[in-house]
């Protein structure tokens, strides 16, 4: 069985704990999550997989159970321990009985305030997590008795990191502010040059900041956020979906981007939604 993001919403809503980060951490962390699969092993005795589409940022994976298999693009990795997972590519995680994962979905990691790391060098692979989170903290997370205890512990840990650098203006702050503006305002049309000018830097400098902090270019990060938000709206409310709300010129412009974003078999499952979109497009013409 394969569960697909955007389509099998009940699975992802019900079989995962998920808590959005507190307001102070939101510029850096999307949410904390943990699998809750115990009731599924009787339904899928041979296991199942979960498919996620490209996203911005990265995930810190903490393994609380048995080894599992993660596929990034066309490459599979046998995971026995924790790992740093870039999210710029589609991924599929293969789950079997005994698997239990905890994750932190980052937009930009606060570790950049303490260490000089270039995340553009962390791509197409799952890297050890030990360099990015204090080992003592990782050990404490694994000893916690519940998901909520883990979230509480890590929230305090990352808050302390941010407080040590409060009031400073660094590249990581700039990147997090730009990402927040795209997410909250759906502003996907302002030029990169104009965005850079707000911070009195060149577009090339902003590009360098983005690559180091997110592993993605400014254009790639914005395009990924845009198509994810548009796809989510299309699936949830196709009758009210308007591609121009996300900066697309017309239906054809959006559809071309959607086909690049989704796998071919997933496109076929969205035919109902796309037909509604096409009818709206024809009516306007």
pLDDT digits (tens, 9 = 90+) for 164-200: 877 766 888 899 999 988 988 888 889 999 999 999 9
Q: What is the pLDDT of residue 282?
A: 47
Helix-helix angle 203-214:171-185, to 10 degrees: 90
Looking at residues 234-258, what average pLDDT do you find?
A: 85
The DSSP bridge partners found for residue 34 are 17, 102
Instruction: Check whether residue 160 and residue 75 sit in a common domain.
Output: yes
Tell me: do 23 and 57 sit in the same domain.
yes
Average pLDDT over residues 204-220: 94
Nearest partner of 4 among 64, 90, 84, 62, judged by Cα? 90
Burial of 103 (0-12, 13-18, 19+ CB in 10 A): middle
Mean confidence (pLDDT) of the chain: 87
Domain end residue (candidates: 133, 164, 195): 164
Model pLDDT, residue 235: 83
Residue 254, domain CATH: 1.10.10.60
Tell whether the model's pLDDT for residue 218 goes beyond 50. Answer: yes
Residue 260 pLDDT: 80
Same domain, 113 and 218: no
Query: How large is the average pLDDT for residues 206-229?
Result: 93
Q: Looking at the structure, do residues 14 and 137 belong to the same domain, yes or no? A: yes
Of the residues 114, 137, 164, the one at which a domain ends: 164
Q: What percent of the chain has pLDDT over 90?
A: 49
Residue 144: CATH number of its domain? 2.60.120.10
133 and 239 in a common domain: no
Residue with token string 């239906």: 251
Residue 267 pLDDT greater than 60, yes or no: no
Q: List the single range of 37-41, 100-104, 123-127 with lowest mean pLDDT.
A: 123-127
**Which pLDDT value is given to residue 169?**
64
Are both 160 and 179 inside the same structural domain?
Answer: no
Q: Which pLDDT does position 283 carry in this prediction?
A: 45
122 lies in the same domain as 138: yes
More confident residue, 173 or 32: 32
pLDDT at 281 over 50: no
| pLDDT one-digit tens code per residue, 62-74 | 999 999 999 987 8
pLDDT tier at 274 (50, 70, 90 boundaries)? Answer: low
**Per-residue DSSP letters for 207-271?**
HHHHHHHHSS-HHHHHHHHHHHHHHHHHHH-TTT--GGGGT-SSHHHHHHHHHHHS-HHHHHHTH
Helix (H) or strand (E) holding 149: helix 147-164
pLDDT at 275: 55
pTM: 0.87
149 and 173 in a single domain? The answer is no
Query: Got the DSSP string for 101-130?
Result: EEEEEESS-GGGGTS---GGGS-SS-B-ST
Q: What is the pLDDT of residue 285?
A: 47
Same domain, 185 and 144: no
User: Residue 273 belongs to what domain range?
Assistant: 169-285
User: Which of 243-282 are b and which e, b meaning 16 or more Cβ less than 10 Å from the residue's Cβ?
Assistant: beebbbeebeebbebbeebbeeebeeebeebbebbeebee
In this structure, the answer to whether residues 31 and 145 fall within a common structural domain is yes
Residue ending a domain, choose from 136, 164, 192:
164
- pLDDT at 159 (0 to 100): 93
16, 135: one domain: yes
CB neighbour burial string for 128-151, b if at least 16 within 10 angstroms, e if fewer: ebeebbeeeebeebeebeebeebb
Our count of domains for the chain comes to 2
Q: Is a pLDDT exceeding 80 seen at residue 130?
A: no
Pairwise CA distance, residues 146 & 36, whole Å: 11
Do residues 159 and 175 both lie within one domain?
no
Pick from 116, 110, 193, 104: nearest CA to 150:
104
């Amino acid at each position: 069985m394969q569960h697909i993001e955007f389509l099998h919403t009940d699975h992802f809503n019900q079989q995962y704990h998920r808590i959005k980060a507190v307001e102070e951490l939101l510029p850096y962390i999307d949410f904390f999550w943990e699998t809750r699969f115990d009731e599924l092993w009787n339904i899928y005795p041979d296991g199942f997989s979960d498919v996620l589409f490209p996203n911005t940022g990265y995930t810190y994976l903490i393994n609380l159970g048995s080894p599992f298999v993660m596929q990034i693009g066309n490459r599979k990795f046998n995971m026995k321990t924790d790992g740093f997972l870039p999210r710029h590519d589609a991924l599929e995680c293969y789950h079997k009985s005994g698997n239990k994962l905890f994750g932190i979905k980052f937009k930009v990691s606060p570790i950049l305030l303490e260490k000089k790391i270039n995340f553009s060098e962390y791509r197409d692979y799952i890297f050890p997590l030990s360099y990015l989170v204090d080992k003592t903290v990782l050990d404490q997370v694994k000893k916690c008795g519940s998901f909520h205890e883990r979230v509480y512990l890590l929230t305090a840990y990352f808050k302390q990191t941010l407080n040590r650098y409060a009031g400073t203006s660094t590249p990581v702050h700039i990147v997090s502010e730009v990402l927040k503006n795209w997410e909250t305002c759906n502003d996907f049309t302002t030029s990169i040059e104009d965005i850079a000018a707000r911070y009195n830097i060149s577009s090339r400098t902003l590009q360098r900041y983005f690559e180091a902090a997110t592993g993605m270019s400014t254009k790639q990060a914005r395009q990924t956020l845009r198509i994810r938000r548009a796809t989510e709206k299309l699936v949830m409310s196709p009758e009210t979906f308007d591609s121009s709300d996300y900066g697309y010129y017309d239906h054809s412009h959006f559809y071309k981007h959607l086909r690049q974003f989704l796998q071919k078999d997933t496109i076929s499952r969205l035919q109902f939604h796309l037909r509604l979109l096409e009818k709206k497009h024809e009516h306007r013409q």
